[in-house]
Structure 1
Amino acid sequence: MNRTALILPVLVIAIAAARSSVFIVDEREKALVLQFGQIKAVREEPGLYFKLPLIQEVVRYDDRILGLDVEPLEITPLDDRRLVVDAFARYRIIDLSRFRQAVGASGVTLAEQRIDTILRAQTREVLGSVTSSEILSAGRATLAGRIRDASRNEANSLGVEIIDVRLKRTDLPEQNLDATFARMRAEREREAADEIARGNEAAQRVRAQADRTKVELVSDSQRQADIIRGEADAKRNAVFAEAYGADPEFFDFYRSLAAYRASLKAGNSTMVIAPDSEFFDYLKSTEPASAAPAGPAQPAQP
């Protein structure tokens, strides 16, 4: 019994020591074996490993690609148009020894603070060397690549690799929104005024051309009407001349009747005229008159 009582504690201690000397590294992580804070081994391949119990300890780090959201920062491009840029980065730990020496026991927390500082500095430097139009255009992917390359060189000292940098959002500062909106509205109003002016100018040209066409059409129509009217008057005079030549007395009689018709209208029956006037020759006698009535005795208008 005494022997069993002695063996049992020793066995328990041996099992505990064996268990504390074995550790597993899976495919998602890397591990450092430390002895009194000093690096004794680097375990990057997945598998089963051993360490000295109680003396050595294992510190594990994520071997996957990690993400980091950079705090929004305000930049001033070449055209002095301030912008607020929101970016994010993807990084990975590639050198455990250097990483441990750079950040110590703080690990990823301190590393991300250092990476954030690097990214912010490089973002200001790269975006401050171009205009806001380039930042807001589709070419900002090239600018993000420049930020990544510049940050990667500095991040190597931390034992990490910057894999990618992206600009998520680029906005104007809140205090500049009203001024920018007013400027955009003024530009649109100016463009609208230019369009209205060009439209009015085009309308004036169309109206002027229409007025000119109208005058030309009216003038041409008036000329043709005068020609037709002159030809008709000539034909009428020819008919009168022919009729007068055929029977002068009958022609005088016809003209007298036309004069009576024109003078003796309804509501126009009052006349002051001498009784022996030639105007009444055909009313006083059945004989033909030797002369045509005077005054209103004009050829009847057709």
Structure 2
Amino acid sequence: MAVDPSVAASRSEEAAEAFFHAAPPLHDRDLVAGSLADFVARHSAGSGGVVCVTSGGTTVPLEQRCVRYIDNFSSGQRGAASTEYFLKAGYAVIFIHRRGSKQPYCRFLPEDSFLDLFELGEDLEIQVPQSHSSVVKAAISNYRKAINEGMLLKLPFTTIFEYLQLLQMVANSMNCLGHRAMFYLAAAVSDFYVPWESMAKHKIESAGGPLNMQLNQVPKMLFILRNIWAPSAFCVSFKLETDPNILLQKAEMALKKYGMNVVVANELANYKDVAVMVTRSGRTTVSRSRKEEDMEEQLTNILMKMHSEHIAQHNL
């Protein structure tokens, strides 16, 4: 039996309100709110697109003073790379990212040791070796340009509680942008969590046998984002599966259930090389032919074209 959309919206909103009510308050919430308000106000007067890119995996704490947690697989590579291409095309970007994950313009810097980027000269001045100088100069130049021109706002998170509070704040702030707003939801969001009020306050003792813990289902915020927080925005979500036999079926279901404009379907085995963009009008496969290519460049170019059509359609 089909559920009335208004009833589904009401149920989803109630579940979200209960989640947020029980969640620990976001650290520096007032500071974040002020930065968001300034950023959106600066770009609300223009005509360009503003995109919220979410990136990296969310953790699920098992203790309030957290030592142990459950994590979601994500390096943040897709979100970081996509942010660069959105900025290059003139979009303003709000980058909600996992602390310690890949960052825009830092993807080609050494991962193992950041100190490998530098040398000490005879006068103890810090220098960048010739082998890395062009990469470092480009990274600094592009990053500083985005920051100095007010085109990039970075908001970090670690836990599922922080992530969803940030997403709600950003969506409510961007709602005034109408169809110019885009959400590019590439973060790997936990499906289950331990409610804060039932969580152990201190480190769980390892003695005493196996650990039995019940996890609650995280409310489906995509539906609320699409229907309540920012209903005019162009929304892109991602679906990652390990079983290719159910991937596209799950993507189609997400498209209809949550009202997304696009669902990008990825199989874990080849997610860096191939993606299928699922829309109401069909499917588009995006792939890279060489390792030197960024699939995100193709992906964002297609999405920006779709977004432009979305804006034009509603401006008629």
* TM-score, normalised with respect to structure 1: 0.18
* TM-score, normalised with respect to structure 2: 0.17
Higher CA-based Rg: 1
